[in-house]
Structure 1
Amino acid sequence: MIHESALLESKSLRDGALDRTDVLDRVKALSLLPDGMHVTTAMVAAYFGVTAEAIRQLKARHHGELSGNGMLTLQGPDLAEFKRDVLSRYPAGYPQPRSSLTLYSRRAVLNVAMLLRDSEVARQVRTYLLDMEYRARTQPVDNPVPSHSVSLDDRIDQRITHILGETVVPMFNALIETSGEHQRELIALRAGVQQVEKRLRQHHARLHRLEGPREDRPLAGVMASMDAMNGREFEEHIATLLRRDGCTDVVVQGGGRDRGVDITALTAHGRRLVVQCKRFAPHLSITSAELQKFLGAAKVLHDSEVALFVATCPFTRDALNIAAETGVTAVHRGLLEEWSAGAALPVLG
C-alpha cells in the first residue's frame, strides 16, 4: 500500500482522490458556513488543528492548485453580496470581513488535507484516502466489466432486463400454454412484465445518451463547477448561456445599480428579457417573497416581456405558484443543469 506521505509529493495522486470529499466527515466533522458550501481560513485551520497563518502560507505556496479546486477570494461587490446573502443571516456567529474573504469549498479543504504536513487530522485524511483506494483496487469482483462500462446502476438495469427477457417472459409463455382457467390473467401479467422490460431498455438507452460525451455540451460536473463560482462568475455563466441560445444585447448589471435584476437582454425574437441569478446552497430554497420582489422589478422597473429567475437551489411551492401565475420562468437547480448541459429554454425561442 502507498504511504500517505506520497500525496504530499504527487499532484497526480491528489487529482485522482479529489472526488472523495466524504472522507473529510469520516475523519472529523467539517462545519460549513450558512451557504452550506464553503468554510473560511479560520474554519479550515480549526478543522486541521493548526494556525490560520499555516493555512495562509499553504495558500500562498499552492494558490493555483487550490484555486482550481474551489478556493476563491471575495472582494468588493462579490464580498458585499456574500455578506448580505450569507453572513448576514447569522451576524453573531461569523466575522464580518472588511476588505477580502477567502473561502474554501469541500474539495479545496480535501486538497489542503493532501498538502498540509504538520497536522494529525490531515495525515488521517490522507491515510483514509489511500486505504480506500487500496481496498477498491484489491477487492475481488465476481463479474469484472471493462473499464469503459457505465455505472453500477446501469449494470443492474441491464441484469434485470436480461432476467425479465430471458427467464420471466418465457416462464409466462410456458404457463399460458398449459393453463386454461387462468390464461387471461397470465397473459395480462406477461404484458405487464414486457412493459417493464421495455421501460428498462428505454431507461438504459437514455442513460447512454445523457452520460455519453457530446461536443455540444460539457461533461459531468456542471453543477459542481457552478457551486464553486462566486456571484459575479455565476452571472457571467448565465449570460454565456443566453448568448449561446441566441439572445442579444446581453448585459450583466451587477453592483448597486441593477434595479432589482442581474442581467438584461433581448431574446432571439427581440423580446425584452430580464434575469435574476441566485447562487444558493442546494439545501436552501427560493421563497415567494424573493420571487415577488423580482417580479416587481421585472415588470414595473424594466417593463420586461420575458423574466427568468435562475437559482442553484429549489423553489418553494408558493414561489412556483406565483411564477406560474405571473409568467416568470423559474429555473431551478435541475433545469439549470439541463440548460447548462445543452438543453434549450423554450421561453427564449
Structure 2
Amino acid sequence: MINESALLESKSLRDSVLDRTDVLDRVKALSLLPDGMHVTTAMVAAYFGATVEVIRQLSKRHREELEANGMAVLRGADLRKFESDNASLSLGSYPQARRSLTIYSRRAVLNIAMLLRDSDVARQVRAYLLDMEYLARTQPVDNSVPTDPTSLDDRIDQRITHILGKTVVPMFNALIETSGEHRKELVALRAGVQRIERRLHQHHARLQRLEGTRADRPAVGVVAAMDAMNGRTFEQHIAKLLRRDGCTNVVVQGGHGDRGVDIIGLTADGRRLVVQCKRFAPYLSITSPEVQKFVGSAKVLYSADVALYVATCPFTPEALHIAAEAGITAVHRGVLEEWGAGEPLRVLE
C-alpha cells in the first residue's frame, strides 16, 4: 500500500484522488460560507488546526496547482459582489474595507490536505484517501447496478455485526451450555463480543446521523449557517437544539440584565441548566477571562448543575483548562458542528 507521504511529493497522485472531497467531512466537519461552496483562509486554518499564516504561505508556494482546483483571489467588483452574497463576512471582523479575499472550494481544501505536512487533520485525510484508493484497487469489480447508496464502510460494519450476532454469539452460547471447566472464561468472551457488536451498532447509527441528508437541515455548512445568524437568532437556534435533546423549560433571556447567562432550562432528567452563547468569527477564540466570568454567573448566581459555553470559534488552551476545572462544558466550533448535525451532547444525556 502507498505511504501517505507519497501524496506530499506526487502531483499526479494528488490529481488522481481530488474528486474524493467527501473525505473531508468523514475526518472532520468542514464549515462552508453561506454560499455553500467556499471557505476563507481563516476557515481552512481552523479546519486543519493550523495558523492563517501557514495556510497563506502554502497557498503562495502552490498557487498554480491550487488555483486549478478552485482557489481564487477576489478583488474589486468581484470582491464586493461576493461579500454582498455572503453578508456574515463583514460582521465584526474587518474594521476597514479589505482589498482582496482568498477563497477556496472543497476541492482546493482537499488539495491543501495533501500538501500540508504539520497537521494531524491533514494526515488523517491523506490516510483516509489512500485507504479508499487501496480498497478501490484491490476489491473485485462489481458491475451490478447499485440499489442502495450505503457506503463501503457501512456495508463492512453491517457484515461484521451480522457475523457477530448470528454466528459468533450463538457459538459461544452452545459452548457455554456444554462446557463445565471453561464456562467462566467463555461467558467473559461472549460478553466482550456482545460489547463489540453494540459498539458497531452505535457507530453505524452515528454515521447515519452525521452523513445522512435530512430535510430539517442543510447537507453542508451546518456551522456556516450559524455564522450567518445574528446574536439573538443564534441563541434561539441553540435553544432549539436543547429542546431537541430533551431539555425542558428552556428560556432564552439573552440581553440586558441576563447576568452573563443567555439560556436557562432543565435537562431531561431535571438538572438545572444554563448556557452562554457566543457567535464569534472562526479565527477568533474564547479566552480565559470570558470563561471565568461565566463560571461566576453559572455556579454562583444560578447554582447550575450543567453549564454550557457554546461558541462558533475555538477556545484558548487556558480557557479550556479553566472550564474543565470549574465543571463548564466548552462547546467549541467542532463540537457545535456535530451537535448541530444531529449528534446529542453527552452532558445532557
The structure that has the greater radius of gyration is 1
TM-score (norm 1): 0.49
